[in-house]
Amino acid sequence: MKARAFSYFRARTIEEAFDAHVRCADEARYIAGGQSLVPALSLRLQAPRLLIDITHIAELRGVRREGEFLRIGALTRHCEMLSEPLIAEFAPLLRAAAPFVAHPAIRNRGTLGGSIALADPAAEFPAMALALDAEIEIAGRSGKRRVKADDFFIDLFETALEPGELIVAVHVPLFKSGQRIAFDELARRRGDYAQVGCGMLATYTDKRVDDIRIAFFSVGSVPTRAKQAESVLAGAVLDAAHVAAAQAALANDLMPPDSDDVPPAMRLHLARVLLGRLLGRLGEGA
Amino acid sequence: MSERDAYVPDEAEETVRVRFVVNGRKVACDASPRETLVDCLRTTLELTGTHAGCEMGACGACLVQLDGRAVHSCLMFAVQADGAAIDTIEGLSESGAISDLQAEFHRRNALQCGFCTPGMLVSAHELLSQTARPTRDEIRDALSGNYCRCTGYEAIVDAIEAVAKARASASCEDGGVA
């Protein structure tokens, strides 16, 4: 199937993009990597009158340190998560998740900002933004603002983005000594959407976990933090009893939806299996 | 109508002048904004080696190189590629860059109907340009977005592994480091 006819505008600045969006009375869509948007257009799930290409806006590019944060431009492609040294050093959870994002050719086009803006509940990076306590920098006609990932993902494909706004960058607190990460997902085939996926960031003092953030994806309508499991583990040494208690707590943290391929009880079981594996890897210094 | 209003759509389907470098040659054509790159390549430029399969980024038959990276030509519109350098299977074949891969695919029957082969070769070419001696798991991972409905993949993985090995030993004989 082919997309419905639309016009195309290549913006060079954020202001040009906003102007084009306003002129089209919100019947416009921004396009960056387009790896989710183009199929949606081809299937006519969406039919904007105007496509605004934002991939040539310099302000949305670049990875650099800014104080206590790593600023990752919205246009940073998934493949750059694997190749950019600053990400390996200061945001290793994104590096760990990147090989699981779709297939190599998709990773060559897809962007971090696009993934966060779409907020697919089965996608890796929105959940990792939660685990990392990242802040999403948003630009709108009235200026810029930063929204914590915890407040960004509202409901199925619904985010804190207002019509016409776009993501400028994702700011990730710098990875520090004493922190450990772990990531994995369960999928029937490599590159498929996960049946359950999880990433975590833990801060250690010696063998004790001071603080841990655990985020799941493919478990409901939004990427989800396992807050009760986190509180079970905070201040603890990751022994078998604490791991079991955290796994049990997932019953309260996750409410997997009914679906044809993975029943809720199975998804919860898989989430517990995954949590156990990842906490085991954390203990080994993952 | 002011110049800034020019991009506000009207009822008639417009076309946009698109310029890119395809297989080393400068090309200009008029494309409707909704025309995908694969349709532009196949229909307008008559480069039918790039195949349109699922047209939603799942099967990998439409892979081309865009500025040196493998991308799905069904997952972008031709207008987005304005100013880019595109190499299709025709260009990769003519340049000889993948002649050893093609010969090995042929030798090992790593294709039957051949529909998936251009995409397989683009993926294999990118893999070997990034990883000189990939493991079989790495080869399988690199091909995870390429569907083949005939061969069962085993011969394809064999062929890519054999080429990696041959290239590595050739570079040793040249005095290079494998």
With contacts defined as CB-CB under 8 Å, which chain B residues touch A6?
9, 33-34
With contacts defined as CB-CB under 8 Å, which chain B residues touch A39?
56-57, 75
Q: How confident is the model at residue B11 (pLDDT cuts 50, 70, 90)?
A: low
Note whether B75 contacts A38, CB cutoff 8 Å. yes
Residue A261, Ramachandran bin (φ over 0: left; ψ between -120 and 50: alpha; else beta): alpha
Q: How confident is the model at residue B12 (pLDDT cuts 50, 70, 90)?
A: low
B30 touches chain A (CB under 8 A): no
**Residue A188 near residue A172 (C-beta atoms within 8 A):** no
Torsion of CA A23, A28, A33, A36, to 10 degrees: 170
B52 touches chain A (CB under 8 A): no
Answer yes or no: is pLDDT of B7 > 90: no
Q: How confident is the model at residue B5 (pLDDT cuts 50, 70, 90)?
A: very low
**Residue A4 near residue A47 (C-beta atoms within 8 A):** yes
Which pLDDT does position B176 carry in this prediction? Answer: 53
Note whether B74 contacts A38, CB cutoff 8 Å. yes
A16 touches chain B (CB under 8 A): no
Which pLDDT does position A27 carry in this prediction? Answer: 92
**Residue B88 near residue B125 (C-beta atoms within 8 A):** no
- Report the C-alpha gap between B79 and B30 in whole angstroms: 9
Angle at B148 between CA B147 and CA B151, to 5 degrees: 155
Instruction: Report the candidate in A55, A41, A261 with the shortest Cα–Cα distance to residue B80.
Output: A55
Q: How confident is the model at residue B20 (pLDDT cuts 50, 70, 90)?
A: very high
Per DSSP, what are the bridge partners of residue B25? B22
Note whether B34 contacts A4, CB cutoff 8 Å. yes
**Mean pLDDT, range B22-32, rounded to an integer:** 97
Smallest CA–CA distance from B52 into chain A, residue: A1
B120 touches chain A (CB under 8 A): no
Note whether B33 contacts A35, CB cutoff 8 Å. no
Which pLDDT does position A25 carry in this prediction? Answer: 82
Which pLDDT does position A191 carry in this prediction? Answer: 78
Q: For chain A, which ranges sit under pLDDT 70?
A: 286
Q: What confidence tens digit (pLDDT) does each residue in A10-45 have? A: 999 999 999 999 999 879 999 999 999 999 999 999
CA distances from A69 to A21, A88, A178 (A): 30, 14, 17
Farthest CA pair distance, chain A: 60
Which pLDDT does position B178 carry in this prediction? Answer: 44
Helix B117-130 to helix B99-107 angle (10° resolution) is 120
With contacts defined as CB-CB under 8 Å, which chain B residues touch A20?
7
Q: What confidence tens digit (pLDDT) does each residue in B102-147 have? A: 999 999 999 999 999 999 999 999 999 999 999 999 999 999 999 9
**Residue A63 near residue A86 (C-beta atoms within 8 A):** yes
A194 touches chain B (CB under 8 A): no
A44 touches chain B (CB under 8 A): no
Domains defined along chain B, listed by start? 16-93 (3.10.20.30), 98-173 (1.10.150.120)
Smallest CA–CA distance from B14 into chain A, residue: A7
Token reading at B80: 């987005």
Domains defined along chain A, listed by start? 7-53 (3.30.43.10), 58-173 (3.30.465.10), 179-283 (3.30.390.50)
Which pLDDT does position B1 carry in this prediction? Answer: 40
Note whether A8 contacts B79, CB cutoff 8 Å. yes
**Residue B36 near residue A79 (C-beta atoms within 8 A):** no
- Report the C-alpha gap between A22 and A32 in whole angstroms: 18
**What pTM value is reported for the model?**
0.94
With contacts defined as CB-CB under 8 Å, which chain A residues touch B32?
5
A25 touches chain B (CB under 8 A): no
Residues contacting residue B2 through CB under 8 Å, at least 6 positions apart: none
Which pLDDT does position A283 carry in this prediction? Answer: 83
Q: What confidence tens digit (pLDDT) does each residue in B31-81 have? A: 999 999 999 999 999 999 999 999 999 999 999 999 999 999 999 999 999
Q: What confidence tens digit (pLDDT) does each residue in B150-162 have? A: 988 999 999 999 9
